[in-house]
Amino acid sequence: MTTPPVPAHPRVTVWNEYRHEHENPKVSAVYPRGIHRAIADGLTAHGFQDVKTATLDEPEHGLTDEVLNATDVLVWWGHKAHGEVSDVVVERVLARVLGGMGLIVLHSGHFSKVFKRLMGTGCDLKWRESTDKERLWVVNPAHPIAAGVGEYIELAAEEMYGEHFDIPAPDELIFVSWFTGGEVFRSGCTFTRGSGKIFYFRPGHETYPTYFHAGVQQVIANAAAWAAPTPSAPRAFGNRQPLEPLPVAAPDTVPTPEPALPEPGTPENGQ
């Protein structure tokens, strides 16, 4: 059985609720074309040739079987409407991730149905929207997601997320954030579920121009290349026939128990 070919240029779909941009003038001033377009433009600038977008209010949230089957990496941004995401679409995304599609979950997507299902935990954390500076330190400089970033990324203003972050221990920890208020946070975490690779990346509050930052765009581009499907053994389940004939034991081959030996000091033959 052959594995599917590895795409030379991963096909990326950027998903966004696209609600804040319509409802909050502060957000539309920062992202007049939507958060999804800023992320997609960053990927295109880094050489990705097939980048599409999808939003919550499109039919099937823009994530039909046809779209997902033509997606190698899905980027997910959600915040205020997690509960409006259809369970049917969630199951569809989960099946594709387990089958090998990469998933990048951004910022408040930690509370999305998709991420919580994949983590199996509550995914809660501390937060504060204030005047914090964020410094994302690279703690795994050899990892491809950190390529070209330097020692750290500094964001002049961002929403604070603080530990404890209620997730399973990540496969790899790539970034740890420090905030002006003193909190720290595991800001760049990888996971594997089935054949799919997952990257959670913390920054990206909707009222800050985070997705225009060169370092943030670099990380998302690196993550999309890393999360793209790679050759792997096929996933096989269910009842299977043996590859070779199994020996059949005849009923008379069952060994007969030997008689028990007398205890030491026990008279034999009536003596």
Query: Distance of CA 65 to CAs 59, 87, 105, 131, 256, Å?
Result: 12, 14, 20, 42, 61
> What is the rounded distance in angstroms from the CA atom of residue 163 to the CA atom of residue 144?
25
Domain residue ranges of the chain, discontinuous segments joined by +: 12-120+188-227
> What is the rounded distance in angstroms from the CA atom of residue 27 to the CA atom of residue 108?
15
Q: Helix (H, G, I), strand (E, B), or coil: what is residue 219? A: helix
**Bridging pattern class, strands 184-193 and 196-201:** antiparallel
Neighbours of 128 (CB within 10 A): 13
Q: What is the mean pLDDT of residues 111-138?
A: 97
Class of domain 12-120+188-227: alpha beta
pLDDT at position 3 is: 46
The yes-or-no verdict on residue 262 having pLDDT over 50 is: yes
The yes-or-no verdict on residue 258 having pLDDT over 80 is: no
Q: What is the mean pLDDT of residues 217-228?
A: 98
